[in-house]
Amino acid sequence: MSNRLTRRLVLGGLLANASTLALAGAPETSVRPVSRGGAPVVPARPVRLVSRSEQLISKANLGGRVGYAVMEADTGRVLEARLGAVKMPPASTLKAVTALYAIDRLGPSYRFGTEVLATGPVRNGKLDGDLVLLGGGDPTLDTDRLADLASALREAGVTEVTGRFLVWADFLPRGDRIDAGQPEHVSYNAAYGGLNLNFNRVHFEWKRRQGDAYDITMHARALRFSPATNVASMAIVDRASPVFDRWSGSGRDYWSVARRALGKTGARWLPVRFPALYAADVFRTLARSNGIVLRTAELVTVRPDGAVIARVESDRLIPIMQGMLKFSTNLTAEVAGLTASRADGTVATLGGSARRMGAFADALGTGRSEFTDHSGLGYDSGITPLGLAEILRARDGLRPLMKTVNLSLDKDRPNPEGVSVTAKTGTLNFVSSLAGYVSTDAGRNLTFAFFSADTERRDAIPPSARENPRGAKGWSRRSRQLQKELIREWAALYT
């Protein structure tokens, strides 16, 4: 228990010190000590609803609800709020909470591992027993690192395996998708579990020959290696819709695509719903390239006993979290959150893990939050603007991991001089959010959270049309414009 308390007390300093090593352009001095959290400081006078802010919101014409909270970072004094205590969907700004949760529970230097285990002795290159691929949940494992694992197996002296090729992926709970309400073919709605590969995506590429004939490939693509996989296949069919369709059987994804939707050439990533078998299939190919022939993989639910003979590791958690915040990778968020929850004891489901993270958020004095996942992809998560702003204020060591936001509106209205913003964005259909920090050359620091959501319009979209529904892009563009205009107002008024 004492170790956890110490970790929380020094979290801001750890993040700042680690970031000076891992992040280009990071601050050279440590981030100031931060508070342990707690309820936002009550303002000395009632929170103002600035008429200029209301004018900007009306001009944006978003419908639904717009809520925000902006605080003085040093004191927690609420400077301005609108629907500040109303729960709203956070979208991907929830990943900021996930990053804090993972770093708090696992430590900033945590690494995910992937191992090969032997259940019997190795004599003269022959493994007299089963070979086991053990997943440690690594969300960043790609084909290139899996190739390094196959090479390490050969360097360990293994040239032949007499037994089975087993795969264990139950280090974490497994699921074939994050959110059941998303279109079938979108790769951001990934499967998850204890063994993941290439963010659980397969690269589909097509090239038209003469007439209507196509060359198509389904590859586990990375920078150095791009082997084919037998876990996903594609057929081109003549139909009007849907563009993509999928069915599964015997641990494989069978895809079809409408011919009329294909041009002369193209490519896209598709989700893999059997990531453990996908990783095993690719590893089998890579092992064969090292002269090691393995049988077809068998998935097991009980971790076999044996000796670890090869291992590869991910980067440290800090740069992984930075990448998650920059690219908003949903799989990384889910795996990081599940692994953090596992550190507190067994967790059986993604929803249970999300609730455990909600308790972590509530302990910072945010009030009752509702999380259904760790990425913000699900429609039913909710947190208040005041709650999220206070989480970021209480643990502001996250600041150097966030992206810089340019407040420029056009060539005549550039980013205000001396004002810098680092924040996490969030976008779903008719949901747009932004949460982070505002700093000025004068040394004044603000923390804010902004949510906009037209949930009735969002919920009316059928799942099959949720990849790019009509009107969503224009709505999101107006919301992002409003975010910038409000932050510019706050910077001018409060700093």
Q: Whose structure tokens read 């706050």?
A: 490
> What pLDDT score does 364 carry?
86
State how far Cα 290 lies from the chain centre: 33
What is the β-pairing status of strands 126-127 and 160-161? Answer: parallel
Is pLDDT at 181 greater than 50 in this prediction?
Answer: yes
* Residue predicted with more confidence, 138 or 10: 138
Alpha helices in 305-440 (DSSP H): 317-327, 330-342, 350-361, 385-394
Is pLDDT at 453 greater than 50 in this prediction?
Answer: yes
Q: Whose structure tokens read 């009735």?
A: 456
Can you say whether the dihedral through the CA atoms of 354, 357, 359, 365 is positive or negative?
A: negative
Spatial distance between the Cα atoms of 443 and 342, rounded to a whole number of angstroms: 40
302-314: pLDDT as tens digits: 999 999 999 999 9
Spatial distance between the Cα atoms of 197 and 220, rounded to a whole number of angstroms: 8
Provide Rg for the chain, Cα atoms. 24
Spatial distance between the Cα atoms of 305 and 117, rounded to a whole number of angstroms: 8
Please state the rounded mean pLDDT for residues 109-115: 98
Residues found in the chain? 495
Task: Supply angle C-alpha 316, 322, 24, rounded to 5.
Answer: 90
Give me 383's structure tokens.
Answer: 């947190």
Spatial distance between the Cα atoms of 352 and 368, rounded to a whole number of angstroms: 16
Is pLDDT at 46 greater than 50 in this prediction?
Answer: no
> What pLDDT score does 40 carry?
54
Contact 365, 41 (CB under 8 A): no
Please state the rounded mean pLDDT for residues 233-261: 95
Confidence of residue 106 (pLDDT cuts 50, 70, 90): very high
Confidence of residue 358 (pLDDT cuts 50, 70, 90): very high
* SS3 at position 493: helix
Backbone conformation region of residue 107, classed left if phi is above 0, alpha if psi is from -120 to 50, else beta: left
Phi and psi dihedrals of 46, rounded to 5?
-55, 145
Contact 380, 455 (CB under 8 A): no
Tally of helices (H runs) and strands (E runs) in the chain: 12, 20
3-state helix, strand, coil in the chain (%, to 5): 35, 25, 40
* % pLDDT > 70, the chain: 90
Spatial CA neighbour of 393 closest among 79, 112, 82? 79
Confidence of residue 464 (pLDDT cuts 50, 70, 90): confident
Contact 144, 344 (CB under 8 A): no
Phi and psi dihedrals of 14, rounded to 5?
-60, -45
> What pLDDT score does 368 carry?
83
Spatial distance between the Cα atoms of 11 and 8, rounded to a whole number of angstroms: 5
**Amino acid in the structure at residue 304:** P
Spatial distance between the Cα atoms of 305 and 296, rounded to a whole number of angstroms: 20
Collect all residues with Cβ–Cβ distance below 8 Å to 160 and sequence separation of at least 6. Answer: 125, 126, 127, 292, 293
Spatial distance between the Cα atoms of 309 and 297, rounded to a whole number of angstroms: 18
35-67 residues labelled b (16+ CB within 10 A) or e (exposed): bebeebeebeeebeebeebeebbeebebebebb
The residues pairing with 446 across neighbouring beta strands, listed in sequence order, are 72, 438
Q: Whose structure tokens read 């998708």?
A: 177
DSSP 336-373: HHHHHHHTTS----HHHHHHHHHHHHIIIII---B-S-
Is pLDDT at 245 greater than 90 in this prediction?
Answer: yes
Is pLDDT at 326 greater than 50 in this prediction?
Answer: yes
Domains and CATH numbers, the chain: 2-108+317-494 (3.40.710.10), 113-170+296-311 (3.50.80.20)
306-345 residues labelled b (16+ CB within 10 A) or e (exposed): beebbebebebbbbbbbbbbeebbbbbbbbbbbbbbbeee
Q: Whose structure tokens read 């999928």?
A: 246
Confidence of residue 17 (pLDDT cuts 50, 70, 90): very low
Is pLDDT at 321 greater than 90 in this prediction?
Answer: yes
Confidence of residue 34 (pLDDT cuts 50, 70, 90): very low
Spatial CA neighbour of 427 closest among 458, 401, 400, 396? 458
Q: What one-character DSSP code corresponds to residue 224?
A: S
> What pLDDT score does 60 carry?
96
Collect all residues with Cβ–Cβ distance below 8 Å to 81 and sequence separation of at least 6. Answer: 47, 67, 68, 69, 70, 385, 386
